[in-house]
């Protein structure tokens, strides 16, 4: 699954720079994760880096984007091919 940031986000700015796929950006009110770029850090790390650094634990699995590990790896590979990861 891709990840999402809940409304508990305090805009602390620690998640955005650790995302290897540049999937996190400041939205209108809180940070948001672009599901088309989120791989849960598959291909880069063993665990999602944004979850590791989030001080309020507001980053969760997004049930609207139920990607398998294989789909996440395919997304990672596509991003690498485009030079975007």
**Residue-level pLDDT at 85:** 54
Domain that holds residue 50: 3-81
d(CA 6, CA 75): 23
Query: pLDDT below 50 — which residues of the chain?
Result: none
Answer yes or no: are the C-beta atoms of 3 and 51 closer than 8 Å. Answer: yes
Instruction: Please report, to the nearest 10 degrees, the dihedral formed by the alpha carbons of residues 78, 59, 49, 21 taken in order.
Output: 30
Contact (Cβ atoms closer than 8 angstroms) between residue 75 and residue 65: no
CATH (domain of 30):
3.30.70.20
In this prediction, residue 84 carries a pLDDT of: 58
The pLDDT of residue 83 is 83
Relative to beta strand 3-5, strand 59-61 is antiparallel
To 5 degrees, how large is the angle CA 33–CA 29–CA 55? 65
Count of domains forming the chain: 1
């Amino acid at each position: 699954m891709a990840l999402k940031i809940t409304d508990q986000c305090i805009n602390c700015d620690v998640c955005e720079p650790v995302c290897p796929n540049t999937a996190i950006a400041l939205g209108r009110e809180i940070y948001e994760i672009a599901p088309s770029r989120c791989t849960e850090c598959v291909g880069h790390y063993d665990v999602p880096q944004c979850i590791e650094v989030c001080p309020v634990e507001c980053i969760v699995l997004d049930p609207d984007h139920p990607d398998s590990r294989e789909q996440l790896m395919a997304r990672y590979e596509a991003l690498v091919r485009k030079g975007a990861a």
